[in-house]
Amino acid sequence: MLELKKNKFKNIDWVLLGAGAAIFIAGLSFLYSATYTKNMDFIVKQVAWFLIGSLFFIIIININYRKIVSFGYVFYFFSLILLLIVVFFGSKRLGAQRWLELGSFNLQPSEFAKLFITLALIQYLTGHKADKGFKSIATAFFIMIVPFALIIVQPDLGTALMLVPVFFALLYIWGARVKHLFIIIGSGLALSPLGWFLLKDYQKDRIMVFMNPDIDPLGAGYTVIQSRIAIGSGGIFGKGWFGGTQNQLNFLTERHTDFIFSVAGEEWGFAGGIILIALYYILVKRAFEIARKTDDPCGVLVACGMATIIGIQAVVNISMTMGFMPVVGLPLPLASYGGSSLLVTMIEIGLLESIAIHR
């Protein structure tokens, strides 16, 4: 046991851990600036979730990640059940049915689903190392598409769309033939106009607004326009902590959750924003380095999967706050307010550390 602990200290990726911690602390400072005028609940809850997340993190780095992956199907069915419950019994907020109320905590099962479906895919792909034919790919696609459909009807476009890059990243790393991947991408693109009809009106609005935010400056475009103004007005060094007028005067909506980066950009400027982006890049880069250091194909898949989940969320979230991508409901990992997202991201980092430790 003692031997193991010593081992841990030797192999644990401190840079990865440090980057994650730095993002979380920076996120807390943004959150404080965004919410201190209202009340301290947000900070208290975020810290509480961080403590819960830390507990999970410690447990996970002590377990071999392969053991966790071997429960992939169990997690998968568990999340399918949760998603079904949400669809039928979940509480509605902001026009979407995403939350499950558990006492004073609200769980967002789709956040967990992102991770669990990824683990299930990894378990399947690890088990079918030998058969890289189209049949395996089709089965993996089926594993992905069922919860995808359940998440999209909530509707939670962001989380659902997150599954797509993860799916392709895993297949690619797993060794699928690039030709097969292109066939799937091609048919997906061919079918996408059909998808337009399945989108809810507000989602169509968001995409239209992304194309041209000025069509509805006080409605759907308001958030994007105000967020872009906030970030742009930050300039080089920003307006200082608590100095952001867009933030402090409530021009930014959703600024403590999905639009936390607007606060960062406004108050800390390009200097702060680029450091934050660099921290996410370090996180992703270390994950890929962990993937390259392990010989275990399962470890490679897990590391690359986690890198993709965290990296894509960061890129998409920051891009949407800058009006560079349509607004989809995706949090900024470790920084946005929200327990489910924080907990899941900490588990993901835990899994990465577990690979680093148990290689």
Partner 1 sequence: MRTKILQGLFTILFILVGTWLYYLQIIKGSYYNNLSSKNSIRLLNITASRGNIYDRSGNIISGNKLSFGVFIVPQEADDIEAEITRLSGVLGVSKSLLERNYKRNKTASFAPCELLKNVPKKAAILIEESRFDMPGVLVKEISSRKYYYGEAFSHVIGYVGEIGQLELELLKPYGYNVKDLIGKDGVERFCDSVLRGKDGGMQIQVDNRGRQVKVMSYRRPKSGRDIYLTLDAGLQKTVYNLLNGQRGAAVFMDPENGEIFSLLSSPSYDPEASLLSAMRAEGAPLLNRAVMGAYPPGSIFKLVTGLAALESKGVRPGTDFLCPGKINIGRDELSCWNKDGHGSVDMEKAIAWSCNVYFCHAGLLTGADKITEYARLFGYGRKTGVELFGEYSGFVPSKEWKKAERKEIWYPGDTANFSIGQGYLMITPLQAARMVSAIANGGILVEPHILKRVGDTYTPGAKTENINISKEYLDIVKRGMRKVVEDPDGTGSRALSRIVSISAKTGTVQISPGIAPHAWFVGFAPSENPKICFAVFLENGGSGGDAPAEIAKQALEYWFKRQER
Interface positions with partner 1 (CB under 8 A): 169, 172-173, 175, 226, 228-236, 245-246, 249-251, 265-266, 269-270, 273-274, 277, 280-281, 284-285, 288, 291-292, 300, 304, 307-308, 311, 315, 318-319, 322, 324
Residue 48 to residue 339: CA distance in whole angstroms: 9
267 vs 33: CA distance, rounded Å: 9
Least distance from C-beta 310 to partner 1, angstroms?
10
* Residue closer to partner 1, measured from CB, 56 or 172: 172
Residue 78 has which token pair? 């568990």
Cβ contact 286:16 at 8 Å: yes
Q: How far is the CB of 177 from partner 1 (least distance, A)?
A: 12
Specify the length of the chain in residues: 359
| Residue in this structure with the two tokens 């997202």, named with its chain if needed | 341
Rank residues 199 and 282 by Cβ distance to partner 1 and give the closer one: 282
Distance of CA 22 to the CA centre of its chain: 17
**What phi-psi label fits residue 97: left (phi over 0), alpha (psi between -120 and 50 degrees) or beta?**
beta
Pairing of the two strands 91-93 and 105-107: unpaired
User: What are the two backbone dihedrals, phi and then psi, of residue 47, each rounded to the nearest 5 degrees?
Assistant: -65, -40
In the complex, what is the shortest distance from the CB of residue 176 to partner 1, in angstroms, rounded to a whole number? 10
Q: How far is the CB of 26 from partner 1 (least distance, A)?
A: 15
Cis omega (within 30 of 0) on the bond before 326?
no
CB of 292 to partner 1, least distance (A): 6
Of 315 and 357, which has the nearer Cβ to partner 1? 315
What string of DSSP letters covers 37-93?
Answer: TT-SHHHHHHHHHHHHHHHHHHHHHHS-HHHHHTTHHHHHHHHHHHHHHHHHHPEEE
H or E element at residue 31: helix 14-35
- Alpha carbons within 13 A on the beta-carbon side of 287: 25
What is the Cα–Cα distance from 289 to 103, expressed in whole angstroms?
40
> Which one, 87 or 325, has the nearer CB to partner 1?
325
* Six-digit token string for 260: 């936390």
Cβ burial, residue 146 (10 Å; 0-12/13-18/19+) = middle
Minimal distance in Å, beta carbon 230 to partner 1?
A: 7
- Cα 287 from Cα 153, distance rounded (Å): 32
CB nearer partner 1, residue 32 or residue 270: 270
Residue closer to partner 1 (CB basis): 82 or 353: 353
The structure tokens listed for 352 are 């990465």
Return the number of the residue (178 or 190) whose C-beta is nearest partner 1. 178
**Minimal distance, residue 354 CB to partner 1, in Å:** 18
Distances from the Cα of 58 to the Cα of 108, 109, 112, 333, 351, angstroms: 22, 22, 18, 19, 10
119 vs 315 by CB, closer to partner 1: 315
Work out how close the CB of 54 gets to partner 1 at its nearest, in angstroms, rounded to a whole number.
27
Least distance to partner 1, CB of residue 267, Å: 12
Name the residue nearer to partner 1 (CB basis): 7 or 250. 250
- CB of 102: closest distance to partner 1 in angstroms? 33
Question: Residue 78 or residue 281: which is nearer to partner 1 going by CB?
Answer: 281
